[in-house]
Amino acid sequence: MEIFKYLEKYDYEQLVFCQDKQSGLKAIIAIHDTTLGPALGGTRMWTYASEEAAIEDALRLAKGMTYKNAAAGLNLGGGKTVIIGDPRKDKSEELFRAFGRYVQGLNGRYITAEDVGTTVADMDLIHEETDFVTGISPAFGSSGNPSPVTAFGVYRGMKAAAKEAFGTDSLEGRVVAVQGVGNVAYTLCEYLHKEGAQLIVTDINKEAVNRAVQAFGARAVDPDDIYGVECDIYAPCALGATINDDTIPQLKAKVIAGSANNQLKDARHGDIIHEMGIVYAPDYVINAGGVINVADELYGYNQERAMKKVEQLYTTIEKVIEISKRDGIPTYVAADRMAEERIARIRNSRSQFLQNGHHILSHRISR
């Protein structure tokens, strides 16, 4: 990969490589855009096939956070970290503390939180070294695990998308195919089960599948079979790029609404599902519940206020669908437009210089 070419093409601000021999830390922090404010985005720990794959993941996820935060109306930019390693084997206090010192070194340009492979306990270790971390234990006055709140947002967004596809937002009797029943999707399944939806689940982790089968009477299928099952809604809640050339022809669902980041392998896959008449709730819009929740910590965390904002993701998905219909464009394009318009608006309003804090020449004046 020609890194600077790539950064320039998609307008990235910064890419930080973090290496700590003693703890074995190898991490990449990508900061995409800080027009709206400091870059906020989680830390993913994953076993990548190559360093290039890790860099690419960090970059794609960071850009997604710029759009997610903008579309959610947050005054935050987009960033993300990937730590190269196996979350089941390679975690240690030293590793997360070493990473925390790198985050501290960015002096607030980047704020982290959980993502796939990291937990509240890991965030607490990072917090030993920096304040620029959210989703730490509630004992610190923080918001804790964002996953249940992400699930609530996905549930709300799914209902809005269902209303468009089926004329009602009731999920009673709807068949939902859930891919990956991890932290977010398990709670999502709770909401769906409570409303009377029928669940089909899959996961590469058998224990996770069994838990969902037992708790919700879900039907289990093999990971490769989830795309082709007879269902109303496909909820991708594992990793990205599952909407692609191989899977699209198998899909029976009329709605795609799930928590995974970067669901479309390429933009053109968003065009194809649009042409097929599938209502697609854009990933970074519907899965913003977690970031809305952790961002509330910046104002002094208030759970009720955060949940009210997350509930509004229903309206945000409605708005995206409305723009899509009005302008005759796929929903993923409508969401991008919404986010880009907000960034441009704020960028322009910031062009009128206003000193924030001490005057830049105050040290000279006082002498």
Ligand X SMILES: CC(C)CC(=O)C(=O)O
Ligand Y SMILES: NC(=O)C1=CN([C@@H]2O[C@H](COP(=O)(O)OP(=O)(O)OC[C@H]3O[C@@H](n4cnc5c(N)ncnc54)[C@H](O)[C@@H]3O)[C@@H](O)[C@H]2O)C=CC1
CA atoms within a 13 Å half-sphere pointing along the CA-CB vector of 285: 30
Query: Is 308 one of the catalytic residues?
Result: no
| 143: partner contacted, choices ligand X, ligand Y, none (Cβ within 5-8 A by kind) | none
How many H-runs (helices) and E-runs (strands) does the chain carry?
14, 12
Kindly state whether residue 113 participates in binding ligand X, applying the rule CB under 6 A: yes
Tell me which of 63, 80, 159, 163 is the catalytic residue.
80
User: Which residues on neighbouring strands pair with residue 40, listed in sequence order?
Assistant: 78, 111
Rounded Cα–Cα distance for residues 154 and 311 (Å): 9
Starting at the edge strand that comes first in sequence, how are the strands of the sheet with 255-256 ordered? 219-220, 198-202, 175-179, 233-236, 255-256, 279-280
Kindly state whether residue 36 participates in binding ligand X, applying the rule CB under 6 A: no
Kindly state whether residue 290 participates in binding ligand X, applying the rule CB under 6 A: yes
Residue nearest to ligand X (CB): 42
| 247: partner contacted, choices ligand Y, ligand X, none (Cβ within 5-8 A by kind) | none
| Comparison of 238 and 251: residue with beta carbon closer to ligand X | 238
Q: In this structure, what token pair is assigned to residue 246?
A: 């191989």
| Comparison of 41 and 77: residue with beta carbon closer to ligand X | 41
Is 262 part of any known ligand binding site?
no
Find out whether 30 and 59 touch, Cβ atoms under 8 Å. Answer: yes
Find out whether 47 and 122 touch, Cβ atoms under 8 Å. Answer: no
| 237: partner contacted, choices ligand X, ligand Y, none (Cβ within 5-8 A by kind) | ligand Y
Kindly state whether residue 291 participates in binding ligand X, applying the rule CB under 6 A: yes
Q: Is 299 exposed, middle or buried (0-12, 13-18, 19+ CB in 10 A)?
A: exposed
* Residue ranges that bind ligand Y, judged by CB under 6 A: 114-116, 146-147, 150, 179-185, 202-205, 208, 223, 237-239, 259-261, 287, 290
Kindly state whether residue 111 participates in binding ligand X, applying the rule CB under 6 A: no
Annotated binding residues for NAD(+): 180-185
Contact footprint for ligand X (CB under 6 A) = 41-42, 65, 68, 113-115, 135, 146, 261, 287, 290-291, 294
Which amino acids are annotated catalytic?
A: 80
